[in-house]
C-alpha cells in the first residue's frame, strides 16, 4: 500500500474545476445507448466512440480522470497508444470499473440487489495497476419501494463496498465507493433523504470494520432528489440543502472529496444541482462530478456513428464538460447553456 501515491491520486481526482467522466458502460449498456441512435454495438464502434470523447481538444482542462471498462483499458487509441497511456499523457488519470454487476439478493424482497465481483479481485487489481489504472469504482444499487431497502440489503452492499475498498488500497489503487440510491420510483424527496442517509451510515460503518483508510478513498454519492415518478420535483436549492445535510451527517471529514453521480437526471439538471451545492459554500470537502450520460448524451446523439459528425460531437462533449467544471466551482448559470 503506497500511501503517498494514494494521496496524490485522491487529491488529483477532486482537483479544482475538474471531475470524472464515467465511460465504464458494459457492452449491454452500450447496446441500449447505441441502438437509440442507430449505431451497431461492436467492439470497434465502442473503441471509436470512446476515443472520440478522450481525444476531444481541451477536455483535459475539465477532466481529472476517466472510469474505464475492462475492454477499454485493453484497447488502443488511433495513434497506437493504449488508452490508459493515452489519457495519462493528457494529464487525465485512468480508472477502472471492477464490479461484475448486480444479482438478486437471496431471501430478500423483489427488487433488492447485491453487487458481485469480489472473487479474484486482488489478482485483478494487480493486473489493473500494471495496465495503468490508479483508481477504481464499485457500484452498489439501493432501490426505494414498498418495504425496501431492507437492513439486509444495506448491510450486504456496504460490506461488499468495504471489502472492495480494502483490496484496492492494498494494491495502491484509490477506491471510489458508489452506493447509488436509484431515482426510479414515485417516492418523495423526504424518503430519498432518509434512505440515502441510511445507506451512507452503513457504508462508513463497514469501511471502519475493514480498516479502510478514510484519507485514501473517494465517495461517489447520489443526490437527494424526488423519485422520477413523483408529481413534485424538488427545486435545485432543496436538492442541495437535503443532499449536503445527509453528507454532513454521515461522511467523515477525512474524506478527500465527494463526486456525484447523475443517476439518470437530465443533463442540465445534474449541472444545476451540483452548482447549487458548491455555491452554498458549506461543504467541508471538495465536491465535483462523476457523470456518464449527463456528460455524454449530447455527444452520442450528435455523433450517431458518422465520421463526419465527430467534430460536432466533440464540441457538444466539450460544452457539457465545461458547464460541469463551472458548476464544480459554483460559477455556472443557466444562461450559459445557450
Please tell me the distance from the alpha carbon of residue 198 to that of residue 188, in angstroms, as a whole number. 16
- What angle do the packed helices 151-170 and 121-130 form, to 10 degrees? 40
Which residue is catalytic, options 18, 97, 113, 220?
220
What are the grid coordinates assigned to 318, written together?
A: 466539450
Cβ-count burial of 28 within 10 angstroms (0-12 exposed, 13-18 middle, 19+ buried)? exposed
Q: What is the DSSP string of 115-176?
A: E---TTHHHHHHHHHHTT--EEEEEEEE--BTTBS-HHHHHHHHHHHHHHHHHHHHTT-EEE
| Residue 32 annotated among the catalytic residues of the structure | no
Q: How far is CA 261 from CA 59, 61, 119, 143, 291, in A?
A: 19, 20, 26, 15, 5
Please tell me the distance from the alpha carbon of residue 156 to that of residue 105, in angstroms, as a whole number. 9
Q: Are 9 and 174 in contact (CB under 8 A)?
A: yes
What are residue 335's phi and psi, to 5 degrees?
-70, -10
What are the grid coordinates assigned to 34, written together?
A: 447505441
Which residue is catalytic, options 18, 112, 137, 178?
178
| Residue 215 annotated among the catalytic residues of the structure | no
Please tell me the distance from the alpha carbon of residue 192 to that of residue 182, in angstroms, as a whole number. 9
Q: Kindly state the helix (H) or strand (E) to which residue 272 belongs, with its residue range.
A: helix 267-279
Dihedral (C-alpha) 50, 56, 61, 64: value to the nearest 10 degrees?
10
Phi-psi group of 305: left, alpha or beta (phi > 0 → left; psi -120 to 50 → alpha; rest → beta): left
Q: Are 230 and 190 in contact (CB under 8 A)?
A: no
Closest CA to 260 of 40, 13, 79, 2: 13
Catalytic residues: 178, 220
Amino acid at each position: 500500500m503506497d500511501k503517498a501515491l494514494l494521496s496524490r491520486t485522491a487529491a488529483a481526482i477532486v482537483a479544482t474545476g475538474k471531475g470524472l467522466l464515467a465511460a465504464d458502460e458494459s457492452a449491454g449498456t452500450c447496446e441500449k445507448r447505441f441502438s437509440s441512435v442507430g449505431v451497431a454495438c461492436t467492439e470497434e464502434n465502442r473503441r471509436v466512440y470512446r476515443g472520440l470523447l478522450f481525444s476531444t481538444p481541451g477536455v483535459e482542462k475539465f477532466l481529472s480522470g476517466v472510469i474505464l471498462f475492462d475492454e477499454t483499458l485493453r484497447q488502443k487509441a488511433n495513434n497506437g497508444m493504449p488508452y490508459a497511456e493515452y489519457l495519462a499523457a493528457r494529464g487525465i488519470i485512468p480508472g477502472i470499473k471492477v464490479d461484475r454487476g448486480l444479482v438478486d439478493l437471496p431471501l430478500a424482497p423483489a427488487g433488492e440487489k447485491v453487487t458481485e465481483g469480489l472473487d479474484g479481485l486482488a489478482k485483478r487489481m494487480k493486473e489493473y495497476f500494471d495496465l495503468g489504472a490508479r483508481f477504481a469504482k464499485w457500484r452498489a444499487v439501493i432501490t426505494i419501494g414498498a418495504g425496501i431497502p431492507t437492513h439486509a440489503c444495506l448491510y450486504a452492499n456496504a460490506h461488499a463496498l468495504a471489502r472492495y475498498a480494502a483490496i484496492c488500497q492494498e494494491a495502491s489503487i484509490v477506491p471510489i465507493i458508489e452506493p447509488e440510491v436509484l431515482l426510479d420510483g414515485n417516492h418523495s424527496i423526504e424518503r430519498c433523504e432518509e434512505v440515502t442517509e441510511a445507506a451512507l451510515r452503513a457504508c462508513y460503518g463497514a469501511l471502519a470494520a475493514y480498516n479502510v483508510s478514510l484519507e485514501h478513498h473517494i465517495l461517489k454519492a447520489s443526490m437527494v432528489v424526488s423519485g422520477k415518478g413523483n408529481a413534485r420535483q424538488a427545486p435545485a436549492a432543496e436538492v442541495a440543502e437535503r443532499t449536503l445535510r445527509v453528507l454532513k451527517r454521515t461522511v467523515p471529514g477525512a474524506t478527500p472529496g465527494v463526486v456525484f453521480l447523475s443517476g439518470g437526471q437530465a443533463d442540465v439538471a445534474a449541472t444545476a444541482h451540483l452548482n447549487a451545492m458548491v455555491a452554498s459554500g458549506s461543504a467541508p470537502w471538495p465536491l465535483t462530478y462523476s457523470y456518464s450520460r449527463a456528460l455524454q448524451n449530447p455527444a452520442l446523439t450528435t455523433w450517431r456513428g458518422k465520421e463526419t459528425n465527430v467534430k460536432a460531437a466533440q464540441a457538444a462533449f466539450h460544452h457539457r464538460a465545461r458547464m460541469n467544471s463551472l458548476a464544480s466551482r459554483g460559477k455556472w448559470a443557466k444562461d450559459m447553456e445557450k
